[in-house]
Amino acid sequence: QGQRSLNSMAIRSSLLPLALLVLAAASSAAVAQLEIGFYSKTCPDAEKIVGEEMAKIIAAAPSLAGPLLRLHFHDCFVRGCDASVLLESTDGNVAEKDAKPNKSLRGFGSVERVKAKLEAACPGIVSCADVLTLMSRDAVVMAKGPFWPVALGRRDGRMSSATEASNELPPASGDVPLLAKIFASKGLDLKDLVVLSGAHTLGTAHCPSFADRLYNTTGENGAYGVVDPSLDSEYADKLRLKCKSVDDRTMLSEMDPGSFKTFDTSYYRHVAKRRGLFRSDSALLLDATTMDYVQRIATGKFDSEFFRDFSESMIKMGDVGVLTGAGGEIRKKCYAPN
């Protein structure tokens, strides 16, 4: 039933030229040596098992859609999509998940839960990297977003470094030139940057990731402690009521106020009104290319175009730096190498 509802939601929500997306996925995957239907002989029900388990997970905790999507992002930007973000630290190594930008990641238990189901059905066959890629797609579909085909065959990395994560993840405080440089290093362009920023339609953020905009900005006259002028003042006032200080770790703010559990285009309407939560959101209005896209999607007339663009960018991101063939391994448990 989980897969059936997933598929019907996908058909209802996307209404995209799916054939074109299949082509996009296939051509992008060929470069990365991935393929649609990779497990058709070794674990034919793999996608169905992931879909059914995800339906239960999201039904019980709809707010997990954003965190699961974010896990996949944070995985792909460090060492490629190799599930290195899932590895636990050991005595001799601090892993990615313990890097400062990853301290607020959630959803690890859900990944283990899905992986355990797959291990019961097809031991040692489906990689954690593929599990996380499928779960992030299903999370979007279940939040009323688009469906896209996922090419499979990623293998799991054996290394994970907090230092690499701190150096390579796009910072929430980044401007477009810095973010564009980080994206380009992963083979992603400026359009991918503004499109994938739309993932901020889902989920919440802790105060430390944006509160410097409320308290620690230096004004034009050199005065310190003013509100970031690129932030709408009324919105800033609301945020200050929630976040009493830069170090307030208890309060959460919705990244897309009013619909943070639904995948839609309202994020772009907030950004267009100078109500993007992060500096990286507001920065999209300071570059001509990204601003044009924000303002176009913000009209609400191009939702299907955004859904198609998001699908294509997710396909591209899911192919970044993947291990295939004899590279890496197929982990039995996602939190530890074999």
- Annotated binding-site residue? 124: no
Look-up of token digits 């430390």: 208
- Annotated binding-site residue? 257: no
Question: Closest by alpha carbon to 111, among 145, 88, 90?
Answer: 88
31 near 319, Cβ under 8 Å?
yes
* First-residue to last-residue Cα distance in the chain: 33
Go through the chain and tell me how many residues it has.
338
Question: Closest by alpha carbon to 73, among 169, 174, 210?
Answer: 169
- Annotated binding-site residue? 80: yes
Question: What is the number of other CB atoms lying within 10 angstroms of the CB of residue 195?
Answer: 24
- Annotated binding-site residue? 292: no
Q: Give the alpha-carbon dihedral of 74, 65, 44, 85, to 10 degrees.
A: 20
- Annotated binding-site residue? 262: no
- Annotated binding-site residue? 246: no
In angstroms, the CA 337 to CA 129 distance is: 13
- Annotated binding-site residue? 264: yes
Which residues are part of the catalytic machinery?
74
In angstroms, the CA 60 to CA 281 distance is: 30
- Annotated binding-site residue? 271: no
Token pair of 27 as six digits? 């051509």
- Annotated binding-site residue? 82: yes
Look-up of token digits 């290195």: 84
Around 232, how many Cα atoms within 13 Å sit in the side-chain half-sphere? 15
**Where is the binding site, in residues?**
75, 78, 80, 82, 84, 96, 170, 200-201, 256, 264
**Where is the binding site for Ca(2+), in residues?**
75, 78, 80, 82, 84, 96, 201, 256, 264
**Where is the binding site for heme b, in residues?**
200
